[in-house]
Amino acid sequence: MACLLEAPLRISVLSEVTATSRHYVDRLFDPDPQKVLQGVIDMKNAVIGNNKQKANLIVLGAVPRLLYLLQQSSSSLQLRTECAVVLGSLAMGTENNIKSLVDCHIIPTLLQGLLCPDLVFTEACLRCLRTVFISPVTPVQLLYTDPTVIPHLMSLLSNSQRTQEYITQIFSHCCKTPEHQTVLFNHGAIQNIAPLLISPSYKVRMQALKCFSVLAYENTQVSMTLVNVLVDGEQLTQVFVKMMQRDQPVEMQLTAAKCLTYMCRAGAIRTDDGSIVLKTLPCLVRMCSKEHLLEERVEGAETLAYLMEPDVELQRIASTTDHLVAMLADYFKYPSSVSAIADIKRLDHDLKHAHELRQAAFKLYASLGSNDEDIRKKITETENMMDRIVSGLSESSIKVRLAAVRCLHSLSRSVQQLRTSFHDHAVWKPLMKLLQNAPDEVLVMASSTLCNLLLEFSPSKEPILESGVIELLCSLTQSDSPALRVNGIWALMNMAFQADQKVKVEIVRCLGTEQLFRLLSDPDTNVLMKTLGLLRNLLSTRPHIDQIMSSHGKQIMQAVTLILEAEHSIEVKEQTLCILANIADGNTAKELIMTNDDMLQKIKYYMGHSNVKLQLAATFCVSNLIWNEEDGSQDRQDKLREMGFVDVLHKLTQSADPNLSDRAKTALQQYLA
């Protein structure tokens, strides 16, 4: 019986809440403007801090009525302002509230409201707009739909500290693409926002700083302009440097460091400039220490990784600053049982976000170790580092897996590490597992790492070969992603280098001639170059050359002809002529060239080319065809003499390039012997 009594009770409580909420909404329709105003004020007081009440009022249709009242010229300014305040309060609730507000076209209505000259009303509209736009569920494109909005917002910046804070916050949250950066830049964002960096209000300074960080990110035009900006007679970079001082709030130090990092990466500040080496880099290293909050440590590490990614000197400096390599090891022990977190809410938050620390550490290790052998050694010798990477490869968070494989890729550039730590920890096993069904960005990194593990001096090469990797790599060559096609073919190329005949035959069988020739006409030059590299490695050592050419010679010669006739780079043609030189080195395979007059004419043409690399490769080909100690060399020499090759060789002995003249002389000696 108890259950039967319980249900009506719940309903009555709900209907009671809805009834009180309905009373608020009904008052918005009162014919007396004074009562409407009082109703809106009462509604404002009722919703503060009460998410349930907010949701009820939205469900009962308060939003369209509030927006209607806000737009009416007959409404008093006070009423319109109170409506904007209530809407702002409703926006402070859940994401569903924001969705409902956006669906009711709150954004265009409030933007229209900004045309009103009254400051208190425009501030209320801007406050509400700010709350709506900083929500992840709001489409930022809505700020850019009407081209008059951005210039109008720029013109409101000088009205008050509040308008400055809200507008810069809107800009920094809604600048997500290069197109957005360009729109803001073209409407004078830099000159309008720069003076706000010395505003007496901390909130204004902070939001202006955030604006510059999103404007400068990967944007050369903005960054180059920022370098020349003066704020109250001081260079902007110096203003940023002052904001990184230890006595400033951490949020400000970090954001100023981001601004300088982005300007440096965009080429506006040199990597050896004092503002980077002596200020930005130490500030970011400082952010990685354990006295900072989790999100500060994450942001510090990720920004530092980005700053030094392309610069080996910065990597070296960072690796010896404040024991950074050891400091990052703490990122994996957090929160530990002894973490002094008094605030239980904070502990709960950090437990949920601890994976972000691991991700940031992997990213920073990847960046630190991307060039220098000593740093890589330092990283792999850090306590349990390889075990941490291996477990990172199978974490549930895709971002952690990606960062871990990035770190592994960075370390796999080291011959020393491939021979030691990679072998000791059988890293190839979790890597192969990761390659089975991962999203493309993880696949690209994992397959790049696999390319390095398949180099001839890597002890992992044999076990990987035995694990049936060839099929996996052949399937990658059929991917829509050029990066995956390159990696698949690159790994096969490394695998074919000085490989047994059995492995080569398996590669050709698994890849299939059709796919091989499809790759030889791939629109991506990198794919074409690596495919030529694979072919060159397959066609090495005479028995292998003869065997492959006996079964696939016709198609290979056809592909070589097409490449030599088409518009390709010097590198592509050089690689193709080298393949031809390998074919010319076969015992029976060379006949495929000798019986093809068209091909011989092409070789002769490239011997007289203006590029030395092509001349060298073509001459090498001739050398192999006429080599004395081989059967039938006399006939081949006679044929080439008749075709005018000897005259060309004589000319080449006079070449200014010593390698070319030597090679031509070596070839001519075959005729004299």
Question: 9: pLDDT confidence band, cut at 50, 70 and 90?
Answer: very low
Residue 631, in any domain of the structure: yes
Residue with tokens 């010229």: 73
Residue 535, in any domain of the structure: no
Contact of 411 with 379, CB cutoff 8 Å: yes
Mean pLDDT of 199-218: 98
Residue 646, in any domain of the structure: yes
Residue 643, in any domain of the structure: yes
pLDDT at position 341 is: 55
244 SS3 class: coil
194 SS3 class: helix
State the DSSP H helix or E strand holding residue 234, giving kind and residue range, or none if neither: strand 234-235
| CATH code (residue 660) | 1.25.10.10
Question: 15: pLDDT confidence band, cut at 50, 70 and 90?
Answer: very low
Residue 189, in any domain of the structure: no
421 vs 172: which has the higher pLDDT = 172
Instruction: State pLDDT tens for residues 496-539.
Output: 999 998 999 899 999 988 898 899 989 999 999 999 999 999 99
Q: How far is CA 632 from CA 19, 640, 647, in A?
A: 105, 13, 21
Residue with tokens 């918005």: 28
pLDDT at position 2 is: 39
Mean pLDDT of 25-45: 94
Residue 2, in any domain of the structure: no
409: its two tokens: 């890729």
Mean pLDDT of 336-350: 67
Residue 641, in any domain of the structure: yes
Residue 603, in any domain of the structure: yes
Count of the separate structural domains present in the chain: 1
Instruction: State pLDDT tens for residues 145-168.
Output: 999 999 999 999 999 999 999 999
Contact of 428 with 466, CB cutoff 8 Å: no
Instruction: State pLDDT tens for residues 403-418.
Output: 999 999 999 998 888 8
Instruction: State pLDDT tens for residues 96-142.
Output: 999 999 999 999 999 999 999 999 999 999 999 999 999 999 999 99
Question: 344: pLDDT confidence band, cut at 50, 70 and 90?
Answer: confident
Alpha-carbon 353 to chain mean position:
21
Spatial distance between the Cα atoms of 292 and 329, rounded to a whole number of angstroms: 15
Q: What's the 3-state SS for 479-544?
A: CCCHHHHHHHHHHHHHHHCCCCHHHHHHHHHHHCHHHHHHHCCCCCHHHHHHHHHHHHHHCCCHHH
Core vs surface per residue 201-217: b (16+ CB within 10 A) or e: eeebbbbbbbbbbbbbb
Q: How far is CA 323 from CA 93, 185, 277, 382, in A?
A: 44, 40, 16, 11
> Which segment of 62-66, 295-299, 421-425 scores lowest on mean pLDDT?
421-425
Q: Identify which of 507, 506, 502 has the alpha carbon closest to the alpha carbon of residue 491.
A: 507
pLDDT at position 353 is: 86
Residues 6+ apart with CB under 8 A from 400: 355, 358, 359, 362, 392
pLDDT value at 437 more than 90: no
pLDDT at position 673 is: 62
* Mean pLDDT of the chain, nearest integer: 91
Mean pLDDT of 171-193: 97
Question: 476: pLDDT confidence band, cut at 50, 70 and 90?
Answer: very high
Spatial distance between the Cα atoms of 386 and 421, rounded to a whole number of angstroms: 7
Give me the domain span that covers residue 606: 550-672
C-alpha R_g of the chain: 34
The pTM (predicted TM-score) of the whole model is: 0.83
pLDDT at position 8 is: 40
pLDDT value at 486 more than 70: yes
